[in-house]
């Protein structure tokens, strides 16, 4: 059956069933004019992100469940980057009338599965017909019990710069998708783009262990590092030789002539955590996240003064001013 045949009311009812049950803090969930909740303990955190067909994804690239899951994951990643825990989400969807109801059910199930795993309650949303692209928008609210959000503005000269996981994998996955090439040989590059993990446990650990500043790498390392430097009033030096790159990216780069350094520095959507901390805190952050959250953390540089600028150390050891371009959805062709 198609969404256009089902109608908005029946579609909402289906979504309601997939998204139940609600947590105890939710007094009124989906179905009234607004949801009603108890205020969360500590401070509340808010973020919203949407995914647009033809800009962020094409339907052939991933299953509807992966699509729904990814939209929630990229929102949760923003909370992870503050060291916070998620509580509530609202899910909005606009789809062409000729979309199958099964497809929408699967999107919702993908959202619901990750929501269940991370104890997020879906408390509302909106639906409408789209005249063209499929659009999923999610808004989330989280909390930090002790009010210690890790901001982008906390970096200080002398801080070491660390990154969780691997860089450039999602951008390499996208490279395959955009060209319609088979990605079967590189499951990790596919996973990185299609199935990003919100580093909630790692973000909470980094916060507890004294991270000075933190953000998630959504626009690419270069762009997101620049956010930290701009908001902290600092410079930075990144050693390109240390950027953590997955073995599959090296293989794919070798086979297809990709620029590994460019993908790792400028590629978006890895949703890894970019963390800065004073040198004496770094050992514990690296060890604990690797051990408890089972994610490698790599030291890749240090925070400088603003006057020193934002620099990269190239493979030949030379220092250069970092190139400006991060991922820009308006500039991007994909």
Residues 139 to 168: which contact its own copies by CB under 8 A?
A: 139, 141-142, 144, 149, 151-153
Q: 87: which residues sit within 8 A by CB, 6+ positions away?
A: 23, 25, 40, 119, 120, 121, 141, 142, 143
* Selected range binding its own copies among 1-9, 158-166, 179-187, 191-199, rule: CB under 8 A: 1-9
Pick the binder of its own copies from 24, 294, 307, 330 (CB under 8 A): 330
Pick the binder of its own copies from 109, 130, 290, 306 (CB under 8 A): 130
Residue carrying the six token digits 């240390």: 242
* Selected range binding its own copies among 62-70, 80-88, 102-110, 251-259, rule: CB under 8 A: 80-88
Token pair belonging to 259: 């620029």
The three-point CA angle 303-306-307 to 5° equals 120
Complex with its own copies: residue 36 or 320, whichever CB lies closer: 36
Complex with its own copies: residue 153 or 290, whichever CB lies closer: 153
Residue carrying the six token digits 């901001």: 151
CA distances, 183 to each of 79, 263, 267 (Å): 30, 17, 17
Answer yes or no whether residue 52 interacts with its own copies by CB under 8 A. Answer: yes
Residue carrying the six token digits 């992966």: 66
**Residues 47/144, Cβ–Cβ less than 8 Å:** no
d(C-alpha 192, C-alpha 186), whole Å: 10
d(C-alpha 279, C-alpha 61), whole Å: 41
Provide, rounded to whole angstroms, the least separation between the CB of residue 81 and its own copies.
4
Provide, rounded to whole angstroms, the least separation between the CB of residue 51 and its own copies.
9
**Number of CB atoms found within 10 A of residue 290's CB:** 15
Pick the binder of its own copies from 19, 57, 88, 166 (CB under 8 A): 88
Complex with its own copies: residue 39 or 317, whichever CB lies closer: 39
Complex with its own copies: residue 314 or 329, whichever CB lies closer: 329
d(C-alpha 246, C-alpha 45), whole Å: 32
Answer yes or no whether residue 84 interacts with its own copies by CB under 8 A. Answer: yes
Token pair belonging to 204: 């909470």
Complex with its own copies: residue 29 or 244, whichever CB lies closer: 29
Pick the binder of its own copies from 131, 180, 257, 317 (CB under 8 A): 131
Answer yes or no whether residue 200 interacts with its own copies by CB under 8 A. Answer: no
Provide, rounded to whole angstroms, the least separation between the CB of residue 270 and its own copies.
14
Answer yes or no whether residue 321 interacts with its own copies by CB under 8 A. Answer: no
Site size with its own copies, rule: CB under 8 A: 76
d(C-alpha 275, C-alpha 213), whole Å: 6
Decide: helix, strand or coil at residue 162: strand
* Selected range binding its own copies among 109-117, 129-137, 155-163, 189-197, rule: CB under 8 A: 129-137
Interface with its own copies in residues 225-254 (CB under 8 A): 231
Provide, rounded to whole angstroms, the least separation between the CB of residue 103 and its own copies.
14
Answer yes or no whether residue 82 interacts with its own copies by CB under 8 A. Answer: yes
Provide, rounded to whole angstroms, the least separation between the CB of residue 213 and its own copies.
10
Complex with its own copies: residue 45 or 189, whichever CB lies closer: 45
Containing 85, the helix (H) or strand (E) segment is: strand 85-95
Interface with its own copies in residues 19-48 (CB under 8 A): 27-28, 31-48
CA distances, 70 to each of 91, 129, 161, 171, 194 (Å): 12, 21, 27, 15, 7
């Amino acid at each position: 059956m198609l969404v256009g045949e089902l109608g908005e009311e029946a579609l909402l009812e289906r979504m309601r069933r997939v998204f139940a049950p609600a947590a105890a803090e939710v007094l009124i969930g989906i179905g009234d004019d607004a949801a009603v909740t108890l205020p969360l303990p500590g401070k509340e955190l808010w973020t919203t992100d949407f995914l647009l067909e033809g800009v962020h994804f094409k339907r052939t690239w991933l299953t509807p469940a992966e699509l729904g899951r990814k939209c929630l994951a990229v929102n949760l990643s923003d909370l992870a980057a503050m060291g916070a825990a998620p509580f509530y989400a609202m899910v909005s969807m606009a789809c062409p009338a000729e979309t199958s109801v099964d497809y929408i059910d699967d999107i919702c199930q993908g959202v619901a599965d990750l929501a269940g795993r991370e104890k997020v309650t879906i408390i509302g949303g909106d639906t409408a017909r789209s005249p063209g692209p499929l659009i999923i928008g999610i808004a989330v609210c989280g909390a930090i019990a002790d009010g210690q959000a890790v901001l982008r503005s906390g970096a200080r000269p002398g801080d070491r710069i660390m990154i969780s996981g691997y860089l450039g994998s999602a951008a390499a996955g996208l490279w395959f998708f955009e060209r319609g090439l088979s990605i079967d040989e590189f499951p990790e590059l596919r996973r990185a783009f299609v199935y990003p993990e919100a580093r909630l446990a790692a973000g909470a650990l980094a916060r507890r262990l004294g991270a000075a500043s933190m953000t998630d790498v959504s626009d690419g390392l270069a762009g997101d590092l620049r956010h930290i430097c701009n908001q902290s009033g600092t410079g930075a030096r990144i050693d390109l030789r240390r950027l953590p790159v997955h073995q599959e990216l090296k293989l794919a780069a070798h086979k297809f002539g990709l620029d590994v350094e460019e993908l790792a520095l400028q590629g978006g959507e890895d949703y890894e955590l970019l963390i800065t901390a004073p040198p004496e805190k770094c050992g514990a952050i690296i060890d604990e996240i690797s051990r408890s959250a089972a994610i490698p953390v790599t030291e890749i540089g240090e925070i400088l003064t603003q006057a020193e600028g934002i620099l990269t150390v190239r493979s030949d050891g030379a220092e250069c001013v970092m190139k400006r371009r991060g991922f820009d959805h308006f500039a991007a062709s994909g």
